[in-house]
């Protein structure tokens, strides 16, 4: 967009789609608009005034800089606009959230006009998005005796930007809307196939659930103007699958309130709920917007007279409704009693939704304001040389004398900041922690860049060891949407200080590697904390948390994250793997055996899985940690033997060096620094100074799961169970079935091997199986298409050097070409092998998809409705998840294999083996 007339043309085009004018973020357009405002006779003056006041993106956008400068001219009397008085100009600056607006306010507050200085200071006292350049100016002026600077600092020390905000209402009235039965994936709230529109908030809002649901929500709002619409996952968990800030943004857009009258389409304060609560990573995102997430517990397990759980014919617990939340039910959230009511009837205690910290988020309009506010208060108190006044709710510090630490408790204690010196903290403690590694992915990256602009951040925090911007979610199709969005994203992130998959200068080859795999490689310390913009940010070194785009932005800008120390569930193994089994089967069996051991209760949900993997390197162990997102765990930690960890770190070093050799390091030599960190860590392990991370022998766990390898007798498949009579049990990852369940006759329409759940070993298994089948049958003939997407270019290069890629080429009918990438997603597939570009593919659902109604057998993680495959008329699409050997054989046969067929096909093949460690993995 370069001119005003172009903008008007775009407005007309958006009207056809039922959309308002797009918010302005460019300096050139806004400069032209300002010129039209100054021209009193300009035919576009009235519209230009409206656009200037109400339709400019705040923060550090180039448009925000132009707006702040013009408002400064008005305040100083250098420009006169009748409709914008100096007082109104100051008000507009107060809504611009930092960056150039803070610079202007400081210019005015520290200037020579005493009246203007005082007025600007009053506005500054309400602001929290100040960075070092801003606080340095204040500190310098204060030390030079500036009274205005002193007054601002005194206000900051008292945190008046927070204390003077209105208290939250004692009663919040809501009207319910059941968004679906069973677990609600964030795909329902923000579909993956609409990822391209996420940065255009109004347009993206059109994809929430369905047009019918949007109409229902609108009707509820009109019928209940004094209430908030509460979206509910009936008999399920809300927000499973990913953090997805765009999902919360969409909910807020339809059910929340506008954050500022001068900033369009940014809404806050959504209220969501689920029978089984909110997915942990999604709940964090709700906090970013100052919303409320409620665990309803409105369905409970039915008990007999003896207190035993009653089960149905399938062995599943029978549920009974405790109270109704049917669409249209009016409920009351009482923020003082912290209870949920229907009229005068108390329904449930919701204290966990209204902790002191969460109430602060609600009051401040989101967690960012609290994080920045605490930082600003600490700075002011230090500058004034006074103790930090107690304003915010004290962080909960839980310490049990004589109790050891789990692995995650050890990591949090090491990385904690601002806690009581010398105090050992256990699970449940609220902790600010320094973040070591940050990852941003491409379909949420544009939102992350917007969040960084909105919080006025311009450079990555120096305490972050390394950060990476991926290009994996747009790997398979380089279409016009990608061409428009991704280069812009890469330039922003490269300028900000991240290592970027694509070089804005075009000097190194574009790398579309799966973000989780890259983060797994650049994590070179088992004591690290990783934050990534994807739910599968679950490394096999350190502890990683999938996060929304806003939390990623906060970690990049501040180098910190805030969360309670999670509880842990310990997972150990016994017995031996059958020689024909693959490690993926162990992963699925872990979930199945856990549910069996705890009578259907998912003890993993919301907790850290501490898996005593011991003998598997980071590449192989990632298959387990990656799947923990589907187990609904908050995170996972691998406990490794010293020798295994050293091997993993050496592999990581070699792959980081390849990135350096490609020219991907930046001016701060971040990648070189990561190799140095890895070398130090290896030296510590070898010397015995600091062995591999392990829990204390007397650590306390929420639960302990022992996986019996001896009873895993056949491949295990995660089934979406699309025809379950109980709708709430469809599309969960808890239905794990043995291969024999399908009797060797379930038709398979397409197979997929790739994405984050596979490693180099899976690609070698594929090559070995194809050779095996040719030897056994004389040729390889596919009865269903097989799509293969290696996770990284490094793996492709290694396969080429070892001869396996040549085998795959022999049997393929298509091989990716970086010089001529696909410009359109496939809609049909032939019965052959496709060698797709490294990166994400079918499991994302935003580019490639299976044909509607297909039954897909895949190595990926997602089986949600419509994600990999949409329903056809009269036939539901199914995404079954299994090991690489099962996928390969299913496409050769065009159906699920029998166990005998499977055993024959994998005979002599080096599957991903696992043997439990014989060492005591505790310290």
pLDDT at 328: 97
CB 734, CB 591: distance < 8 Å: yes
* The two structure tokens encoding residue 738: 């043995």
Average of per-residue pLDDT across 80-96: 97
**CA 179 – CA 684 distance, rounded (Å):** 52
Give the CA radius of gyration of the chain: 28
pLDDT at 852: 94
pLDDT in tens, 670-691: 999 999 999 999 999 999 999 9
Q: Are strands 543-546 and 786-789 parallel, antiparallel or unpaired?
A: unpaired
Q: How far is C-alpha 643 from the chain's CA centre?
A: 32
Assign 3-class secondary structure to 62-95. HHHHHHHHHHHHHHCCCCCECCECHHHHHHHHHC
* The two structure tokens encoding residue 809: 């080429």
- Name the packing angle between helices 760-777 and 793-802 (round to 10°): 40
pLDDT at 798: 92
Q: Name the residue among 853, 842, 872 with its Cα closest to residue 192.
A: 842
Residue 173 φ then ψ, to 5°: -85, 135
CB 499, CB 671: distance < 8 Å: yes
CA neighbours closer than 13 Å in the CB half-sphere of residue 535: 29
pLDDT in tens, 29-51: 999 999 999 999 999 999 999 99
Sign of the CA dihedral running 611, 614, 618, 619: negative
* The two structure tokens encoding residue 282: 């999604």
231 CB burial (10 A radius; 0-12, 13-18, 19+): buried
Residue 162 φ then ψ, to 5°: -105, -45
Split at pLDDT 50, 70, 90, the class of 98 is: confident
Q: Residue 437's beta-bridge partner residues?
A: 466, 530
Percent of the chain beyond pLDDT 70? Answer: 100
Split at pLDDT 50, 70, 90, the class of 2 is: low
pLDDT at 116: 98
Split at pLDDT 50, 70, 90, the class of 316 is: confident
Q: Are strands 750-754 and 786-789 parallel, antiparallel or unpaired?
A: parallel
The b/e string for 37-52 (b: 16+ C-beta within 10 A; e otherwise) is: beeeeeebbebbbebb
pLDDT in tens, 890-923: 999 999 999 999 999 999 998 988 999 878 788 7
Tell me the three state secondary structure of residue 891.
helix
Interacting residues of 879 by C-beta distance below 8 A, sequence separation 6+: 720, 850, 856, 858, 860, 862, 863, 864, 867, 868, 869
Over 50: is that where the pLDDT of 561 sits? Answer: yes
pLDDT in tens, 586-633: 999 999 999 999 988 899 999 999 999 989 999 899 999 999 989 989
Interacting residues of 250 by C-beta distance below 8 A, sequence separation 6+: 189, 190, 204, 205, 207, 208
Average of per-residue pLDDT across 216-245: 92
* The two structure tokens encoding residue 799: 């396969």
Tokens 């949420």 label which residue? 444
CB 435, CB 531: distance < 8 Å: yes
Mean pLDDT of the chain: 93
The 8-class DSSP code of residue 919 comes to S
pLDDT in tens, 437-446: 999 998 888 8
Q: What angle do CA 496, 795, 545 make, to 5 degrees?
A: 50
More confident residue, 876 or 862: 876
The 8-class DSSP code of residue 289 comes to T
pLDDT at 304: 87
pLDDT in tens, 256-277: 999 999 999 999 999 999 999 9
Q: Name the residue among 354, 353, 337 with its Cα closest to residue 345.
A: 337
Question: Would you list the DSSP string of 794-816?
Answer: HHHHHHHHHTHHHHHHHHEEEE-
pLDDT at 243: 66
Measured in Å, how far apart are the chain's first and last C-alpha atoms?
A: 60
pLDDT at 1: 45
**CA 572 – CA 617 distance, rounded (Å):** 16
Over 50: is that where the pLDDT of 580 sits? Answer: yes
pLDDT in tens, 772-783: 899 888 899 999
pLDDT in tens, 501-548: 999 999 998 889 999 999 999 999 999 999 998 878 899 999 999 888
Split at pLDDT 50, 70, 90, the class of 755 is: confident
Average of per-residue pLDDT across 280-291: 89
**CA 75 – CA 756 distance, rounded (Å):** 54
* The two structure tokens encoding residue 814: 């298509």
The CB density around residue 600, as the number of other CB atoms within 10 Å, is: 13
Interacting residues of 407 by C-beta distance below 8 A, sequence separation 6+: 543, 568, 608, 610, 637, 639, 693, 694, 695
Q: How far is C-alpha 129 from the chain's CA centre?
A: 23
Over 50: is that where the pLDDT of 737 sits? Answer: yes
Q: How many residues does the chain have?
A: 923
């Amino acid at each position: 967009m370069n001119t005003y007339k172009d903008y008007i043309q775009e407005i007309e085009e958006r009207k056809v789609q039922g959309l308002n004018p797009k918010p302005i973020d460019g300096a050139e357009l806004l400069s032209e608009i300002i010129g039209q405002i100054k021209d009193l006779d300009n035919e576009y003056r009235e519209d230009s005034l409206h656009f200037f006041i109400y339709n400019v993106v705040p923060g550090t956008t180039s448009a925000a800089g132009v707006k702040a400068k013009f408002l400064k001219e008005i305040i100083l009397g250098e420009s006169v606009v009748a409709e914008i008085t100096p007082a109104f100009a100051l008000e507009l600056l107060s809504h611009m959230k930092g960056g150039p607006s803070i610079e202007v306010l400081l210019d005015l507050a520290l200037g020579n006009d005493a009246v203007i200085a005082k007025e600007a200071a009053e506005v500054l006292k309400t602001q929290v998005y100040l960075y070092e350049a801003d606080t340095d100016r204040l500190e310098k002026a204060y030390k030079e005796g500036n009274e205005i600077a002193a007054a601002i600092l005194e206000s900051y020390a008292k945190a008046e930007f927070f204390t003077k905000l209105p208290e939250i209402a004692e009663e919040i009235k809501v009207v319910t809307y059941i968004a679906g039965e069973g677990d609600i994936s964030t795909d329902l709230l923000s579909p993956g196939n609409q990822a391209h529109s996420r940065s255009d908030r109004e347009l993206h809002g059109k994809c929430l659930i369905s047009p019918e649901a949007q109409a229902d929500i609108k009707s509820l709002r009109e019928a209940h103007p004094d209430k908030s619409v509460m979206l509910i996952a009936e008999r399920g968990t809300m927000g499973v699958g990913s953090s997805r800030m765009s999902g919360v943004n969409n909910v807020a857009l339809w059910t929340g309130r506008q954050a500022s009258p001068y900033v369009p389409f940014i809404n806050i304060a959504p209220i969501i709920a689920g029978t089984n609560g909110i997915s942990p990573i999604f709940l964090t995102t709700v906090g970013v917007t100052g919303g409320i997430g409620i665990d309803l517990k409105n369905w409970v397990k039915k008990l007999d007279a003896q207190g035993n759980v009653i089960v149905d014919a399938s062995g599943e617990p029978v549920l009974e409704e405790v109270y109704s939340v049917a669409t249209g039910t009016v409920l009351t959230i009482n923020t003082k009693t912290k209870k949920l009511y229907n009229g005068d009837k108390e329904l449930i205690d919701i204290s966990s939704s209204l902790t002191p910290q969460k109430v602060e988020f609600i009051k401040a309009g989101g967690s960012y304001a609290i994080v920045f506010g605490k930082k600003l208060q600490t700075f002011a108190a230090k500058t004034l040389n006074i103790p930090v006044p107690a304003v915010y709710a004290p962080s909960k510090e839980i310490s049990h004398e004589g109790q050891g630490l789990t692995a995650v408790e050890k990591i949090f204690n090491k990385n904690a900041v601002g806690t009581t010196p010398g105090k050992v903290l256990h699970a449940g403690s609220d902790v600010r922690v320094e973040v070591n590694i940050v990852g941003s992915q491409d379909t949420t990256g544009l939102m992350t860049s917007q969040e960084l602009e909105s919080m006025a951040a311009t450079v990555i925090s120096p305490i972050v060891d390394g950060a990476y911007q991926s290009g994996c979610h747009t790997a398979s199709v380089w279409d016009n949407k990608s061409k428009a969005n991704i280069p812009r994203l890469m330039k922003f992130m490269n300028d900000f200080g991240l290592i970027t998959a694509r070089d804005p200068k075009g000097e190194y080859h574009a790398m579309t590697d799966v973000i989780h795999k890259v983060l797994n490689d650049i994590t070179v310390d088992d004591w690290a904390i990783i934050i990534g913009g994807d739910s599968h940010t679950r490394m096999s070194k350190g502890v990683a948390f999938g996060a929304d785009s806003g939390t990623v932005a906060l970690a990049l800008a501040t180098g910190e994250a805030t969360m309670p120390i999670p509880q842990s569930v310990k997972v150990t193994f016994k017995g031996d793997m059958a020689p024909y089994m693959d490690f993926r089967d162990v992963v699925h069996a872990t979930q199945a055996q856990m549910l069996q051991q705890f009578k259907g209760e998912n003890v993993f949900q919301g907790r850290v899985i501490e898996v005593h993997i011991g003998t598997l390197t980071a590449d192989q162990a990632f298959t387990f940690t990656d799947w923990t997102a589907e187990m609904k765990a908050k995170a996972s930690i691998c406990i490794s033997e010293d020798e295994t960890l050293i091997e993993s770190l050496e592999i990581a070093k070699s792959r980081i060096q390849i990135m350096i050799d490609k020219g991907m390091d930046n001016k701060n030599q971040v990648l070189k620094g990561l190799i140095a960190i890895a070398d130090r860590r290896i030296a510590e392990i070898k010397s015995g100074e600091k062995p591999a991370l392990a829990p204390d022998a007397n650590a306390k766990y929420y639960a302990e799961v022992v996986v019996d390898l001896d009873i895993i007798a056949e491949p295990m498949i995660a089934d979406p169970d699309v025809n379950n009579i109980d709708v709430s049990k469809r599309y969960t990852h808890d239905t794990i079935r043995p291969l024999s369940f399908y009797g060797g006759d379930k038709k398979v329409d397409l197979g997929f091997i790739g994405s984050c759940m596979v490693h180099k070993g899976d690609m070698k298994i594929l090559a070995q199986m194809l050779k095996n089948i040719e030897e056994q049958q004389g040729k390889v003939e596919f009865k269903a298409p097989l799509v293969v997407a290696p996770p990284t270019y490094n793996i492709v290069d290694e396969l080429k050097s070892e001869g396996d890629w040549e085998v795959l080429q022999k049997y393929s009918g298509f091989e990716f070409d970086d010089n001529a990438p696909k410009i359109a997603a496939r809609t049909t597939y032939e019965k052959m092998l496709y060698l797709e570009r490294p990166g994400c593919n079918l499991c994302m659902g935003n580019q490639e998809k299976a044909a509607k109604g297909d039954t897909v057998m895949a190595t990926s993680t997602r089986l949600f409705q419509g994600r990999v495959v949409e329903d056809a008329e009269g036939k539901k699409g199914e995404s079954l998840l299994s090991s690489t050997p099962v996928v390969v054989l299913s496409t050769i046969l065009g159906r699920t294999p029998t166990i005998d067929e499977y055993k024959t096909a994998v005979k002599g093949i080096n599957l991903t083996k696992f043997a439990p460690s014989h060492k005591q993995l505790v310290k």
